[in-house]
Amino acid sequence: MENFILSGALNQINGRKDSMLEIKDLHAGFEGTEIVKGISLTVNKGEIHAIMGPNGSGKSTLSKILAGHPAYEAMGGTVTFMGKDLLELSPDQRALEGIFLGFQYPVEVPGVNNAEFLRMAYNAKMARQGKEELDPLDFDDILDEKMKLVGMDSKYKDRSLNEGFSGGEKKKNEILQMAVLQPKLAILDETDSGLDIDALRVVANGVNKLINQDNAIILITHYQRLLEYVKPHYVHVLSKGEIVKSGDKSLALDLEAQGYDWLTPVPK
Amino acid sequence: MKTNTVPKPSVSEVLENKDDYKYGFTTDIESDVFLKGLDENVIRAISQKKNEPPFMLEFRLKAYRKWLTMKEPAWPNVKYPPIDYQNISYYAAPKARKKLESLDEVDPEILKTFEKLGIPLEEQKRLSNVAVDAVFDSVSVATTHKKKLMEHGIIFCPISEAVQEYPELVEEYLGTVVPVGDNFFAALNSAVFTDGSFVYIPPDTVSPMELSTYFRINTEETGQFERTLIICAENSYVSYLEGCTAPRFDTNQLHAAVVELVTLDNAEIKYSTVQNWYAGDKETGKGGIYNFVTKRGKCLGKDSKISWTQVETGSAITWKYPSCILMGDNSSGEFYSVALTNGHMQADTGTKMIHIGRNTRSSIISKGISADYSSNSYRGLVKVNKSAANARNYTQCDSMLVGEKCSAHTFPYIESANSTAQLEHEASTSKISEEQLFYLESRGISRENAITAVINGFCKEVFKQLPMEFAVEAQKLLALKLEDSVG
Ligand SMILES: Nc1ncnc2c1ncn2[C@@H]1O[C@H](COP(=O)(O)OP(=O)(O)OP(=O)(O)O)[C@@H](O)[C@H]1O
Ligand SMILES: [Mg+2]
């Protein structure tokens, strides 16, 4: 059992914490092809984990499996989130449990008003918590505040969801959604890619505002850059569907300097 | 300024419909039903029952004789067994109907039916901002707010009544937009129509409320052949809504309506339909309404405008092309359509824009959604006559497929005889996107609501044309119809 919880081992050094997400020996893929090949990872409350790794190593696949994308299937292993079997839940239920996926490629939904979409999502959460749903006027106040926080112009409220948004605008819109929904666990899949310096700072800011003792974040990234603003507790390297190395943030620096080659698993 | 509201209950009622067709009940009342079959005697009998002036009988007989020489159209992209026109009863009316002085005289069972459908007709309950003409089988049973409208000089009454009270108006306009021999079903309608609504808006008048007609087929094996005529005089405006339901029968029922609209100089008619006739059994395809309808508007005056908005969600077969004849210079026509087919439904629908006057403009926005085993065709004609200098048309035609076994087709026809015409056509076909649905669901939005949002987004340009509450409810109606299909 001890080999799978690398970060868990590190936790023990830091003292006992509440576990939020526990992935055990997860195998998953797409149309019968295994892409994620036995990943184990524990994320505790208050932690920031960075996942790095070469293109095509399975990072997005892992994030989609966690969010419940219907095209991907879990082929073995377990995922527990806040004590619940995550793989049993539909995507919307997972979101309502507190999981948020920042998409690597946010989807355009023509004709769906951005503000209205955000309100729908917000109200779904309110309904789940037995709280009162907000009408457009009341929600607008919340939205204005959050948009300011992520530095988004209010004109994006009345645009169709992501339609015609630039790459960077889409990423900011993901952070806006995260800020509105305040998830327990945010999985940000390359949210830093395609951002200019200012936007990167905004994203980092959003992440730092979200993180507290009750939340956790998984950052999937290719760049050390983001990690200068957001300090991860752990860095994992994913290669060919496996976590081949875990360490602290200095690992990210090593990777930046040396690339991934030295970590690629030796063929058996 | 031209915003209006619509009977909320009516539509929420429509909504509860879900997969199980909620309007599938019949009302148990004594009806006066003609024996099945059609000949000149039947037509004379209808005319007599309705106490019509001679010109009407002439009109009917001329249409009937024409009809006998005509063939049922075979070109629509729909399939159905031959209809036996002698096996239909051409007249069904709630019994003992004198000229009703007040609603108290309407059979309480009928009032109850409409109330169940969400259209309360009684004085205390009825909707304050919408005038309703309720048509039950072949006759109009009640029209609300007549008095108030009359104060503005607006005539809103059953067409059977108009034939008697305003024969000059009826004679002047009836059959001028859809001639008796226009097509097979229009000819049949002209011969045998029994009721429908009549509207006349006098010059310089904006109707103070929405006018609406609610159609209900009740008796099995009767056809419904209603006839609507709307005339909007100079500088006037009216917005008109039409809703329809029918009981669930295993047999198919024929609904062959004719709607004629006329606008004089600078007048505007906005005509909106939410059609939810019984579509037949979802699994077997048995039963349902054959909706073979001729709707056409004539922009007779200059600067006039006719706008059709339709949300078609029911009927086993739909064959319907609300059209505009743009005669007046600078007149314009619009067609906004959402057609949803599911189960075994077949729809062949679209429009015709005939440009005759100079600087005439038309736009066509069509959104077809097909699910299950259904077939959904858009058929549109844009015709520019030689006289129509600087005519412009914009056509956009999008189809969305939900599932693997349905189909979508587009048949755009363009005939232009004037080189100054500018015609644009755009078309697309796509599948409902799992990626979009997943994106929304991953934010905690339920699958149903995600579907609603995506479909609503797809249809947005059309829904935008509907009065607000109607639009909201129409969106939900689509979502409910699709719930099972997206899985
Ligand atoms: N829907 C799919 N269809 C076909 N192949 C897929 C699909 N999803 C993932 N794959 C394959 O699985 C592998 C892992 O893809 P994934 O997107 O998870 O990589 P990634 O680590 O996120 O890469 P990147 O850094 O480029 O974003 C790739 O080889 C990819 O082509
Ligand atoms: Mg990726």
- A113-140 pLDDT, tens digit per residue, is 999 999 999 999 999 999 999 999 999 9
**ipTM of this model?**
0.91
Q: Is A124 on the interface with B (CB under 8 A)?
A: yes
Q: What is the mean pLDDT of chain A?
A: 87
Q: How many angstroms does the Cα of residue A34 sit away from the middle of ligand 2?
A: 16
Answer whether A59 contacts ligand 1 (Cβ < 6 A). Answer: yes
Q: Give CA–CA dist B299/B306, Å, rounded.
A: 7
CA distances (Å), B164 to each of A106, B6, B62, B190, in order?
64, 30, 20, 17
Q: How many angstroms does the Cα of residue A59 sit away from the middle of ligand 2?
A: 5
CATH entry 3.40.50.720 includes domain A2-258: no
Least reliable range by pLDDT among A178-192, B207-221, B284-298: B207-221
Q: What is the position in ligand 1's atom list of the atom closest to the CA of A71?
A: 1
Q: What does pTM read for this prediction?
A: 0.79
Q: Do A110 and B458 touch (CB under 8 A)?
A: yes
Neighbours of A12 (CB within 10 A): 11
**Closest chain B residue to A126 measured between Cα atoms?**
B444
Q: What is the pLDDT of residue B166?
A: 95
Of A11-25, B397-411, B415-429, which one has max mean pLDDT? Answer: B415-429
Q: What is the pLDDT of residue B8?
A: 26
Report domain extents, chain B. 11-87, 103-433
**How many residue pairs from chains A and B have C-beta atoms closer than 8 A?**
84
Contact B467, B241 (CB under 8 A): yes
Rg from Cα positions in chain B: 21
Of A263 and B427, more confident: B427
Q: Which amino acid is present at B432?
A: I
List residues of chain B with CB under 8 Å from any CB of chain A.
433-436, 438-447, 449-450, 453-454, 456-461
Whether residue A227 has pLDDT greater than 90: no
Answer whether A52 contacts ligand 1 (Cβ < 6 A). Answer: no
Neighbours of B33 (CB within 10 A): 18
**Residues of chain A positioned with their CB less than 8 A from the CB of B465:** none
Alpha helices in B23-174 (DSSP H): 40-49, 54-68, 108-116, 146-151, 159-165, 167-173
**Residues of chain B positioned with their CB less than 8 A from the CB of A181:** 443-444
Eight-class DSSP state of A107: P
Residue pLDDT, tens place only, B216-269: 665 655 667 889 999 999 999 999 988 755 555 566 678 889 999 999 999 999
Q: Burial of B134 by CB count in 10 Å (0-12 exposed, 13-18 middle, 19+ buried)? A: buried
Q: What is the pLDDT of residue A100?
A: 97
Q: Span A239-261, mean pLDDT?
A: 83
Q: What is the pLDDT of residue A7?
A: 44
Q: Of the candidates B434, B443, B456, which has its C-beta nearest A95's C-beta?
A: B443
Whether residue B55 has pLDDT greater than 80: yes
Q: Do B436 and A109 touch (CB under 8 A)?
A: yes
pLDDT band at B416 (very low <50, low <70, confident <90, very high): very high
Report domain extents, chain A. 2-258
Q: Which of the residues B367, B369, B435, B442 would you substitute to probe the A interface, choosing the one with the greatest number of A C-beta atoms within 10 Å?
A: B442
Residue pLDDT, tens place only, B330-387: 999 999 999 988 888 888 899 999 999 999 999 999 999 888 888 888 999 999 999 9
Q: What are phi and psi of B282, to 5 degrees?
A: -65, -35
Q: Do A124 and B454 touch (CB under 8 A)?
A: no
Q: What is the pLDDT of residue A5?
A: 41
